[in-house]
């Protein structure tokens, strides 16, 4: 595994729309491994491939220690409720902001074995799903934050 460089706000790569993964190659599996290591090192709870300069629809999330969620080509298939909470981003260091997000989110994605699965989360996990999936479309949470804090 290798630690990757996390791109920071201002880098145009963060604003690009990522391409779906067509075939799960060893390169994609290495990317997942490296993203997880990079996220752990940075003490984040989620990381999207464009944050490490790879324009592919790949995300790792670990809001609960030891429960790693790997998402390939994820999409939100259901939401319910709303929440207003503070979030931050490894690509926007030193800042945080309050956002509106759904309270419950269900995502459909592929795992590294190419199997489709659905996963649901509430609260922090629901926010992480929304935040990381936004990255895949070049969106940052600061775009829609209600308030920002330094
Ligand atoms: Zn982020």
* Per-domain boundaries in the chain: 12-149
Do 68 and 87 form a contact (C-beta atoms < 8 A)?
no
Does residue 1 have a pLDDT over 90?
no
Ligand 1: distance of its center to the CA of 117 in Å? 23
The 3-state DSSP composition of the chain as helix, strand, coil percent (nearest 5) reads 25, 35, 40
Hunting for tokens 């939100």 — which residue is that? 76
What's the mean pLDDT in 112-120?
Answer: 97
The Å distance, Cα 142 to ligand 1 centre, comes to: 10
pLDDT at site 56:
98
Going from the Cα of 77 to the center of ligand 1, the distance in angstroms, rounded, reads: 21
Residues lying with their CB under 5 A of ligand 1, a single-atom ion:
89
> For residue 143, is pLDDT > 90?
yes
pLDDT at 2: 85
**pTM of whole model > 0.85?**
yes
pLDDT tens string 57-99: 999 999 999 999 999 999 999 999 999 999 999 999 999 999 9
Average pLDDT over residues 29-47: 97
- On the question of pLDDT at 41 being above 90, the answer is yes
> What burial class does residue 146 get, using C-beta atoms within 10 Å of its C-beta: 0-12 exposed, 13-18 middle, 19+ buried?
exposed
Task: Tell me the three state secondary structure of residue 49.
Answer: helix
Q: Is 60 exposed, middle or buried (0-12, 13-18, 19+ CB in 10 A)?
A: buried
Question: How far apart (Å, rounded) are the C-alpha atoms in residues 104 and 94?
Answer: 27
Mean pLDDT over 15-42 rounds to 97
Beta-strand pair 58-61/96-101: unpaired
Considering only the top CATH level, what class is 12-149?
alpha beta
- pLDDT > 90: percent of the chain: 97
Return the active site residues. Answer: 132
């Amino acid at each position: 595994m290798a630690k990757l460089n996390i791109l920071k706000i201002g880098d145009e790569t963060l604003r690009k729309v990522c391409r779906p993964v067509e075939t799960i190659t060893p390169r994609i599996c290495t990317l997942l491994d490296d993203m997880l290591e990079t996220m752990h090192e940075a003490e984040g709870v989620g990381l999207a491939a464009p944050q490490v300069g790879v324009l592919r629809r790949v995300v790792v999330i670990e809001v609960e220690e030891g429960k790693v969620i790997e998402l390939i080509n994820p999409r939100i298939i259901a939401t319910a409720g709303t929440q207003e909470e503070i979030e931050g981003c490894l690509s926007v260091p030193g800042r945080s902001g309050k956002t509106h997000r759904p309270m419950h989110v269900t995502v459909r994605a592929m795992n590294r074995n190419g199997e489709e699965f659905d996963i649901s989360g509430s609260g922090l996990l629901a926010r992480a799903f929304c935040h990381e999936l936004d990255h895949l479309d070049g969106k940052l949470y600061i775009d829609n934050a209600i308030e920002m804090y330094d």
